[in-house]
Structure 1
Amino acid sequence: MKLVTLTPAVSIFALILCGCSASKTIPGADRVELVNEAPDRSKCEFLGEVVGSQGNWFTGDVTSNENLVVGARNELRNEAYRLGANVVHVQDLKNSSAYGSMGTTNTTGIGKAYRCKN
């Protein structure tokens, strides 16, 4: 049996390609609603704080700003869904840059997850 080994350049290229796309939502998380205003506490149960992030010093420069934001928002949805939430009050969305970077390298979103009745 012949083992296939990847050269370091091919490995780095593969990592860069993985960093270019936004994180995906897990099945069911796409139904989690992100809102800018806190939901009615009489109809919603607070489940906890959630954090979603996309990008790092290595992949941030090769990932579009749009994909950094979409990926962070999708991670918020994923974390909320794992808690059983259907609404996230997004409190903060921050972009950051690394020294020597060409642009934004990371986007992080913070929110409060709720399970709300219709």
Structure 2
Amino acid sequence: MNSYKLITAIVIGVSLTGCAAKQINLEARDVEIVNEKPNSTKCKFVGEIVGSQGNWWTGDFTSNKDLVIGARNELRNEAQKLGANVVYIQDMSNTNAYGSLGTTNTTAVGKAYKCKN
């Protein structure tokens, strides 16, 4: 009986670790997210990026705030990988899985730019 409780606790613990917002990489902390297209004379487009948080399993256990923060953090991380320092968000959407209690996934789509300071 004790091993059953231990296994159950481990499964629940591992399942819920997906409920916190995705972490931002140290190098990506200075990446700025904007909702207006950057000035083309000061900024160079380097690529399209996507950030997402949540799925049908963890979404019901993740707060809406953490879904949004996680998606934005992933955008920053992806932008940093491309050498960008600004992300222009083009779209942000929330989805609900069938039978879920609410929002289960947030996805952000953006364009990454390298801008002169």
Which TM-score applies when normalising by structure 2?
0.92
Give the Å deviation of 1:64: 0.2
Give distance in 1, aligned partners of 2:85 and 2:100: 36
Residue identity opposite 1:51 in structure 2: V
Residue 100 of structure 1: aligned partner: 99
Q: Which amino acid aligns with 1:95?
A: N
CA distance in structure 2 between the aligned counterparts of 1:78 and 1:12, rounded to whole angstroms: 29
Distance in 1 of aligned mates of 2:87 and 2:9 = 39
What is the CA-CA distance between 1:14 and the residue it aligns to?
1.6
Pairwise CA distance, 1:15: 2.7
Instruction: Summarize the alignment of residues 21-36 of structure 1 with structure 2, pairs less than 5 Å apart.
Output: 21-36=20-35
In the alignment, structure 1 residue 62 sits paired with structure 2 residue 66: no
Instruction: Give the equivalent residue in structure 1 for 2:16.
Output: 17
Q: Distance in 2 between matches of 1:16 and 1:30?
A: 27
CA contact (8 A) 1:16 1:62 kept: no
Q: Unaligned stretches of 5+ in structure 1?
A: 1-5
Q: Which 5+ residue runs of structure 2 have no aligned equivalent?
A: 1-5
| Structure 1 runs, 4 residues or longer, greater than 3 Å off | none
Measure the CA separation in 2 of the matches of 1:89 and 1:15: 34
Q: 1:20, 1:59 within 8 Å by CA — same for their partners in 2?
A: yes
Aligned-pair CA distance for 1:71: 0.2
Is residue 39 from structure 1 mapped to residue 38 from structure 2 by the alignment?
yes
The total of aligned residue pairs comes to 112
